[in-house]
């Protein structure tokens, strides 16, 4: 009988303390939109030969940074972190220059697969003009890595890996 009272007291205590919050305010979880929105400048770009990687032969990577030193991408958002327009400058022809963007998922994928940034030519986001994968999300280190992979018949043959750093905004 004592054991039953002890278990009931323990359960009641758990319910009482688990229902309280630190300051009583619920905060929405941080989405990837909040982490990647803004203007990013190129730190490094490399080309990866996916066929050489798969076959474990030859040169697999080439650093292309010197060819695209002025590359930047602006992923513009509204005040509530809803994606709007994007622009790129100094980009090779493999990325669209402007349009609209959104993510295929607002949070990291549970299976570890990369979230994709989808580019569109229209505000309704119906006319796709490209996509890149977010292979490294900014966190404690303010770097973002985007990967654009080209494939033929479902087989990847080349990837471009963009390592980007944020442009810091000044508060005036």
For residue 91, tell me if it sits in a domain. yes
pTM of full prediction above 0.95? no
136 by DSSP, 3-state: which?
A: strand
Which residues fall within 8 angstroms of residue 131, CB to CB, at 6 or more apart? 116, 117, 118, 119
**pLDDT score for 68:** 77
Distance CA 50, CA 158 (A): 5
Domain membership flag for residue 43: yes
Query: Distance between CA 61 and CA 53 in Å, rounded?
Result: 9
Q: Which pLDDT value is given to residue 131?
A: 93
- Percentage above 90 pLDDT, the chain: 52
**24, HSE (Cβ side, Cα atoms, 13 Å):** 0
Split into its structural domains, the chain has a count of: 1
Instruction: Give the N- to C-terminal CA distance of the chain in Å, as an integer.
Output: 69
In a domain, 72, yes or no: yes
Q: Would you place residue 170 in the very low, low, confident or very high pLDDT band (cuts 50, 70, 90)?
A: very low
Model confidence over 123-158: pLDDT tens digits? 999 999 999 999 988 887 889 999 999 999 989 999
14-49: per-residue pLDDT in tens?
Answer: 555 555 456 677 778 889 999 999 999 999 999 999
Residue at 9 is within a domain: no
Residue 22 domain-assigned (yes or no): no
Distance CA 149, CA 133 (A): 8
For residue 154, give its domain range: 30-166
pLDDT at 172: 43
Q: Is residue 80 part of a domain?
A: yes
Q: If you average pLDDT over residues 64-87, what whole number do you get?
A: 89
The CATH number of residue 76's host domain is 2.40.128
């Amino acid at each position: 009988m004592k054991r039953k009272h002890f278990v009931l007291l323990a359960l009641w205590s758990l319910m009482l303390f688990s229902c309280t919050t630190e300051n009583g305010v619920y905060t929405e979880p941080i989405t990837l939109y909040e982490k990647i929105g803004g203007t990013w400048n190129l730190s490094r770009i490399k080309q990866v030969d996916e066929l050489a990687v798969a076959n474990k032969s030859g040169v697999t990577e080439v650093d292309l940074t010197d060819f695209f030193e002025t590359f930047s991408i602006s992923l513009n958002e509204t005040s509530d972190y809803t994606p709007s327009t994007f622009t790129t400058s100094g980009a090779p022809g493999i990325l669209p220059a402007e349009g609209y963007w959104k993510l295929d998922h607002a949070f990291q994928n549970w299976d570890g697969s990369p979230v994709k940034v989808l580019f569109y030519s229209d505000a309704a986001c119906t006319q796709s003009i490209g996509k890149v994968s977010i292979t490294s999300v900014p966190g404690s280190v303010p770097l973002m890595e985007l990967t654009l992979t080209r494939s033929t018949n479902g087989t990847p043959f080349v990837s471009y890996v963009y390592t980007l750093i944020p442009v810091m905004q000044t508060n005036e």
